[in-house]
Chain A
């Protein structure tokens, strides 16, 4: 497929774009929680791929490179936004909103909102594996390749992320399954 010494041809680039865009945006959105940021960060990753014009042994390797770049830039974005939000709250002394946990509020939408909040509270090393697993539809081995860690380490991290999420959800609302 890669006849030009591993460099992507226009056709290969199109295939890569068509098959990876939705997945990359999904991953980025789950980390950043911002539609605009997700689209921008994903397009930035494609631009970087074009500018660097790196040789890849296969299309899958190019895909892993993109996932790694999008994941890192999204985590950086979320971290920066988190810091900005904290600084803003500190400056204006706004009280943090308390999560309502009464039985009457435990509706489907709210339980999903809690899941999103719990996901945001995960440390980056756990969040990244779970996001890649759930939104990248990737196998443990592929996640290991993207993150540069062993398959066993991915298995442990996915489990810890789930345990942590379940704990957080239980704390937030004992009625949410």
Chain B
């Protein structure tokens, strides 16, 4: 009994495993019909392989330049990969930045409140200093002679409203009245 033609096609491609291969070979030797079928497949394969083909690799210089262009694309790609960030990380970072922004916006009035309280406390603590300042000014007013006052003012303009003046030195202090 003759094998399936499909098996002969595979045999022509050397794709039949042992021991079927040997059994098939023995059959083909004795069967003219199968030999003809096998020959038809082999001739067809040879004809397909004999089809004229342009010589694509004849121009070595062109081949090299084509490869160089490819390599440049590859290098660029590799460089780009170094700074490549996966999309999910990027979106997570964007969400994080947005949340941070919202948080800062919400916390701003609270921060202002804290700042104001701090200034108020500072003012309270400097009340004693303020009374000294008042007595100094009173002395200056009463004294007919010219006085030289050296003061250090706070540098920050934002502190102006709540700023405190520090008296470092009073020239010619009236004896017995002020130390």
- Chain A: residues with CB nearer than 8 A to chain B? 8, 10, 13-14, 17, 21-22, 25-26, 29-30, 35, 38-39, 43, 46-47, 50-51, 53, 111-112, 115-116, 119, 130, 133-135, 139-140, 155-156, 158-159, 162-163, 165-166, 169, 177
Contact = CB atoms under 8 A, between A and B. Distances in A.
Q: How large is the interface on B (under 10, 10 to 19, 20 to 34, 35 or more residues)?
A: 20 to 34
B73 interface: yes
Please classify the interface of chain B as helix (H, G, I), strand (E, B), loop, or mixed, using the class held by over half of its residues: helix
Interface of B: 5-6, 9-10, 13, 15, 40-41, 43-45, 47-54, 56-57, 63, 66-67, 70-71, 73-74, 77-78, 81
A158 B9 contact: yes
Please classify the interface of chain A as helix (H, G, I), strand (E, B), loop, or mixed, using the class held by over half of its residues: helix
Contacts of B45: 134
A126 to B, nearest CB: 12
A13 B74 contact: yes
Contact of A156 (B6, B49, B50, B53): B6
Contacts of B53: 26, 29
The 9 closest A-B pairs by CB, nearest first: A159-B9, A50-B74, A159-B6, A50-B73, A134-B48, A25-B56, A35-B54, A115-B47, A53-B77
Most buried by A among B41, B47, B51, B57: B47
